[in-house]
Structure formats: structure tokens, C-alpha cells
Amino acid sequence: MNMHWQTKKLVPILWHENKCASKNWLQDFLRRSGHLAIRTPEATNFSRSTALNKQTKDEFFDNLCVMAQNIYNVDETALTTVQKPVKIIAGKGCKQVGKMTSAERGTVVTACCSVNSVSNDVLPFSNL
């Protein structure tokens, strides 16, 4: 590394030759700053990204305050009658470790529950 005359900072020689950071520099930078990572971004279309502005946000929250009792969050989950055994601690070298479980194949039940922000709920319902 050499000293850059304007900033008095140590910079790699390749920075002056290529006028850009190298892959090694980026890897070292990411290693030093543990909270950063290279990620693949989600695709967001232009109209959706530009639709979120202060006016739209304020309008959304104004409507939310008025209509909170009419907005429900619904979620569904699959429940099974046969549970998968959880992991256990066993001695090294054991060839077979067993845990008692039901011999039946089981049934999957889908349950849906809903609630709104003012604590009104709809009783769970299921589809067998």
C-alpha cells in the first residue's frame, strides 16, 4: 500500500492504476464490516416504487384510522395429526436412535384464523 498525497490515507496501488476498487478490496471490506452482505434484490416495477410517496403514505394511514375495524389479517396453516420427532442427544457411534411415534399416516388439516387491529376476530375454521 502507498500513501495518497491528498487524503493522507493508505490506499492500494491498484486503486491509482485502475481507478476502481478490486474484488479483493471488496471482499476485505465486507469481512471488516460484518453487518453488510452481497444480496440479490427483489424485482420491483417502476410504478410500484414511485407510488410510495408522502401523500400516498398519509392517505393510507388516514384511511387506516377510519377503517381499522374493517381490515382483517387472515392466515392459514397446515396442521398434521402425526408429529415429526424432534432431535435428541445420543452417544457418538450409535447406529440407531429411536423415538416412539404414531404408526398412522396422519391427516393434514388446514386452519384459517383472522383478526383485525381492534382485536375483533373470526373463529378459526378448517377444511377437512
pLDDT value of residue 44: 75
Taking Cα atoms as reference points, which of 7, 4, 6 lies closest to residue 15? 4
Residues in CB range of 11: below 8 A, 6 or more apart: 1, 2, 3, 4
Q: Which of 93-97, 117-121, 122-126 has the lowest mean pLDDT?
A: 122-126
The DSSP secondary-structure symbol of 68 reads G
Asked if residue 7 has pLDDT above 70, the reply is no
Q: Counting beta carbons within 10 angstroms of the beta carbon of residue 97, is it exposed (0 to 12), middle (13 to 18) or buried (19 or more)?
A: exposed
pTM: 0.34
Mean pLDDT of the 12-22 span: 78
